[in-house]
Amino acid sequence: MRSDHHIPIEPANPPALKRHHSAQYYAHRVKESLTRRATKVFCAVFLTLFLVVCVAAFILWLTLRPHRPRFHVEEFSVPALAHEAGFENPAVIYKATARNANQIIGVYYDSAQLAVYYQEQIIGGSPVLFPFYQKPKNTTVIEGQLSGDTLRVSGPQWQQFVADLGKGEVVFRLDISSTIRFRIWRWHSKHHKMHARCPVGVGPDGFILPHYRDKRCPLYFT
């Protein structure tokens, strides 16, 4: 006699249990989602504003950063070098420019002093400017002549000038020194001692050689 036994077989994928969440749970999830979105928007706005402020500050810094004055020698001559008896009445004729290239920054100059050097020895000099204010984007001309009491050339020095001319040129150095301050609106900087050192060479005719003309002079502060 045979009996049949039925073994229950569970389905391979039992039906998932449905979870029912309360309205409070869904409200909390929505609140979290809105908070994340608000945080992302806030971060994006903050980073954008920060970038704009940084760029604006950089542009302002470039605008307000003082640029040094620019000095150039336009003319320089010792006409007596072209004459055999020139030592009897020597003179140095010069013309230089001081340029304020700043956009909104002015420069106050105390009285300036000009000196001429030959082989690191001063041979003449005199005051050249009274105290003045130089506006932005402005050029001031400094010109004059050294002779008599303002020019002291010895006989041996003159003979050395003539010897240098035989080699093609005589090289001098034109120095302009002053104390300056920068001005931005109502703000004034501290005083800066400024020195412009301009090498100039003259040829056999006593006039400045072309490659020295309008050459920008090195500038130093002490």
Ramachandran area for residue 178 (φ above 0: left; ψ -120 to 50: alpha; else beta): beta
In the block, residue with structure tokens 């010069």: 94
Find which of 20-24, 26-30, 162-166 is predicted with most confidence, using mean pLDDT: 162-166
Whether residue 185 contacts residue 206, with contact meaning beta carbons closer than 8 Å, is answered with no
Q: How far apart are CA 215 and CA 78, in angstroms?
A: 19
What's the whole-number average pLDDT of the chain? 84
Strands, DSSP E only, in 35-188?
70-77, 91-100, 106-109, 112-118, 121-129, 132-134, 138-147, 170-184, 187-188
Report the 10 Å Cβ neighbour count for 35. 10
Report the 10 Å Cβ neighbour count for 73. 23
Whether residue 110 contacts residue 180, with contact meaning beta carbons closer than 8 Å, is answered with yes
Give residue-wise pLDDT tens across range 24-63.
666 666 666 777 777 777 788 877 777 777 665 555 554 5
pLDDT band (50, 70, 90) for residue 186: confident
Half-sphere exposure of 36 (CA within 13 A, CB side): 5
Among 8-17, 127-136, 188-197, the range scoring the smallest mean pLDDT is 8-17
> What tokens does 124 get?
């003449």
pTM of the model: 0.71
pLDDT over 90 for what percent of the chain? Answer: 54
